[in-house]
Amino acid sequence: MPANKSSQDLFRYLRGNGPTPSSELVAHFGISRATLSRRVQELGNAVITIGSARATQLAARHEDVSDSIPIYRVTEGGQVETIGGLTPIREGEQTQWFLNPEEAPKALTEGEFKDGLYPGWPWFLEDLRPSGFLGRAFGKRMAHLLQIKEKPEEWTDLELLTTLTGFGSSLQGNFILGDRRALNDFQEHKVEISQGYYRNSTTSAYPEMAQRALDEDEAYGSSAGGEQPKFTTMICDTPDSDPRAVIVKFSPKLDTPVGRRWADLLHAEHLANQVLADAGFDAARTRVFELQGRVFLESERFDRVGQFGRRGLVSLRALDAAHLGLGQGAWAKAARKLHTEKWITAEDCERMIRLHCFGELIANTDMHWGNLSFFLPEQSPYPLAPIYDMLPMRFRPSGTGEVVEREFKPTLPKPEDQNAWLEMHPHALAFWQRVAEHTKISNDFKVVASSIIKDLHRIREIVIP
């Protein structure tokens, strides 16, 4: 920090107040623009300039990060390109972030972010915060290595940044943060693929991978029994085929009631994807395997392209945080708001409403806003990504590891959803019929399916007698 008191006063003001227009600073300190420019030069790298000409703002760089953090994205062809530098800014005890809008894709700086300023962790990076079964194990590992809290949702922005730049080489979507270990790991991963590292990686290895995931979770202290165990990997379908990226859910052992129920639900998720695909929806491409006493649901990752390529992805939760601020509610409600404000197309709006109705009819009580995603384009509108995690979660085991038999009664649609509900009703019937007839699904769950089929027929007559 320079010794000049006037420059220090400017820095302290910016640090306490955040990004401030230069015109306000000139008025506040009673100085000319030329004097302000000299003081900014004296502060050097401690102050960043946002915008230009009369729209210029000044801000204090966070003292813990001396340089901007490069943001890279992996193209669909597998090449790495820079889209800008991310800079943390102090505003009192809070951290804002700046991304030069002239360098970044327009989609990242549309709406209220046109200046490249984000009041908290940037919305398009929020989905990179680890969560769920995989995120919990990762969080505990980072706590052990970096001496930070175990729960990723409790990390500060800078702690999250540290973990992602160091260990985020295979995140959701196509971003890589920083030019350190994460970037190097991705480049090494490409070399491994090209050298045939995954040639012998097949579905037969799934039981071993599942046990490794459970062992790692246990090593750092297991909790939250209701979470669905899973792992990510690349596999080759034949020794001569190229590897492809998958995410694999797996059940507990089938000789337990909880294992049997999760197996039923994994089969049901696969059937739901098939029904939706038959109805013309983009759904995750899945396969089911029963290996060494477990059921595995393999989903091909749609944020990966070929051996090396990736596609940008953001959840409905992130998109809402950026542009709507609704916070929660039905997918149908979010769809209409997103379309009204031109963030999605009319076609995707209708798809979201129909998917919402289908989920309601198949007892999917877990349609939170992290379970629906959009591809990240160069600029809006945002295309709807394939549907995933669509299954009757009403019947999942409890968090304490028990199978609780719950009742499910389909409800009448809202008037604005009635047409979509009527369109999806036969597809929901087809889903439950497939469940009831599936040879690998337990008799207990087939009884549930048969009961719901009767209820769906009855409620259909109420909607249109």
Supply the residues annotated as catalytic. Answer: 366
Which string of DSSP letters, residue by residue, matches 291-332? ETTEEEEEEE-TTEETTTEE--EEEHHHHHHHHT---S--HH
**Which one, of 68, 118, 123, lies nearest residue 97 by Cα?**
118
**Helix axes 5-17 and 22-29, enclosed angle (nearest 10):** 130
Q: How many CB atoms lie within 10 A of CB 105?
A: 17
Check: CB of residue 59 under 8 Å from CB of residue 45: no
71: DSSP letter: E
CB 263 within 8 A of CB 226: no
CA–CA gap between residue 286 and residue 269 (Å, rounded): 9
C-alpha to C-alpha distance for 1 and 333, rounded to whole angstroms? 51
SS3 91: strand
Secondary structure class of 118 (helix, strand, coil):
strand
361 in Cβ contact with 392 (< 8 Å): no
